[in-house]
Amino acid sequence: MSHIKHIFNELHFEIVHTIAEGGMGIVYEAKQMGAGHFSKRVAIKLIREEYSKIEEFRNNFIGEARLVADLIHTNIVQTYHLGEISGQYFMTMEYVDGITLEDFIRRHTQTHQPIPADLAAFIISRICRGLSYAHQKCDVNGRPLGIVHRDVNPRNIMLAHEGDVKLTDFGIAKALDLMYNDEGEVIAGKDEYLSPEQARREVTDARADLFSCAIVLAEMLLSENIFETKTGEATRKNILELTIPDFVEMRPDLDPRLDDILQHAFQRDRNKRYQTAQNMLTALEVFLYGEGYGPTNEKLASYIKDLFGKNSSSAAKRWALGETPGLEQNEEA
């Protein structure tokens, strides 16, 4: 760690602490230093030296950096720079001061309360906004890049303390001429969040990400992943064969219109699913705002603060009663 800190110091980065660490890489919070006491908080994603030496992995990491460099959208974590130090590649990225959706779901489980359905729908609607942008992205010559994220799951969704919702980690995304495409050989993505076409090792398109969005939305509403079992094989079998439940029966307070959206997004035949992320976004926003004022970034921010506060076990009840603490102050500000 001290060796890494020293090297990054020479590049005018001050490592603050480790955000996450896995077998292939590490993510740090850092300060990017500049002239005149300039300082900017960033995240640094560093791949381990042994993986930097593997050409296929290295090329995929570089491909990810090239892919996301021009993905500039409020619902996607932005990448600023790709660099290399002592044989290790790294990316500097937007630092999101907040929590993962996985943390958000876990906190509700710990405090024995359901996630408010409209907040769950709002979060997924913002992810659909980011995906719609990414799916439609073209190169400088106007050619569609054909981006498919392929790994939409709660760990890759960030909730900023200000209420912004951001999709991150395009590490196994595919795109025209940019990313290594191994479809048909291995399964890309986490088993419990795969689309049926991913589970069958078929070539995917943007509609695969929408099935994954439905899984995440259902997980927020039910506090469990309906497909997940103890083994990857059984989980993939459920994705292909498990009867999609009536979500109103599983959660009686759920608006039937949200069940309709889930049933549409969960179509295993992708020709019967939402055909674009924009289509799914529109359906969610009609549900959220069709009859009046609905969730906003500011409301989500206040709810997160309440959820992780002293009286967290009643956060969902207060939300249902329209009593989210701090909201009035935020709106006046």
**Residue found by looking up tokens 């209420």 in the block:** 163
If DSSP codes are grouped into helix, strand and coil, which group holds residue 174?
strand
For every residue of 101-145, DSSP letters joined together read HHHHHHHHHHTT-PPPHHHHHHHHHHHHHHHHHHHT-B-TTS-B-
- The residue annotated as part of the active site, out of 118, 151, 209, 306, is 151
Distance of CA 184 to the CA centre of its chain: 24
Residues 6+ apart with CB under 8 A from 150: 172, 173, 174, 188, 189, 198, 204, 208, 209
b vs e for 215-225, b when ≥16 Cβ sit within 10 Å of the residue's Cβ? bbbbbbbbeeb
177 catalytic? Reply is no
**C-alpha to C-alpha distance for 80 and 43, rounded to whole angstroms:** 10
Contacts by 106-113, CB closer than 8 A, 24 or more apart: 107/307, 107/308, 107/312, 108/223, 108/307, 108/316, 109/223, 111/307, 111/312, 111/313, 111/315, 112/313, 113/313, 113/314, 113/315, 113/316, 113/317
CB burial readout 172-185, b (16+ within 10 A) else e: bbbbeebbeeebee
Enzyme catalytic residues: 151
